[in-house]
Amino acid sequence: MIGQKIRSYRRKKGLSLSELSKQVDISKSYLSYIERNVKQNPSIEVLKKIAVVMDITVEELIEESMTGFYEEDQPLDEEWVGLIQEAIREGVSKEQFKDFQEYIRYKNWAKQKRENGGMESEQ
C-alpha cells in the first residue's frame, strides 16, 4: 500500500523514478522495489526523505486509507458504484476482490515487462 501511494504521489508531482530517486538519494531500483511492494517496509528515514520531496507528511504515506487522496483526484462515478454494489450482491468477498486486484497488478506488470523487453519502466 505504501508503494502505491508513493507511485501515485510521484506521478501527481510529474516525477519519473529517476528524478525522485536522485532527489531522495536512493537507487532507482530500490525506489522501484518500494513502489511495486517488493520491498514492503522501507525505513522511516527513506519515508521521511520521500515525504519531503512530495511535500507531504510521513503519516500521509503510512495511513491505511487513501480515501482522501482518491476522492480529490478520482471520484467514483455512478457506474463504478453500481459495479461495486452488484459485486457485493453477487457475493464477492473483500478477499476475492483483493485477489482480483493483485491478479490485475500482476497482469499489468507482466505486460509492461514484455513491452519493455524485460526492462523497468520509468513511470
Q: Which pLDDT value is given to residue 64?
A: 60
DSSP at 56 = S
Phi, psi of 81 (to 5 degrees): -60, -45
What single-letter amino acid sits at 68?
G
Is 39 strand, coil or helix? Answer: coil
Mean pLDDT on 102-121 = 76
Q: Which residue has the cell 471520484?
A: 75
Contact between 30 and 39 (Cβ < 8 Å): yes
Q: Cell 514484455 identifies what position? A: 114
pLDDT tens digit sequence for 4-30:
889 999 999 999 999 999 999 999 999
* pLDDT given for residue 46 in this prediction: 92
Q: Tell me the pLDDT tens digit for each residue of 54-79.
A: 998 888 888 764 444 444 456 667 88
User: Which whole-number Å values give the CA distances from 5 to 31, 67, 68, 85, in the listed order?
Assistant: 12, 11, 12, 25
Report which of residues 32 and 97 the model is more confident about.
32
Query: With contact defined as beta carbons under 8 Å apart, do 4 and 102 qualify?
Result: no
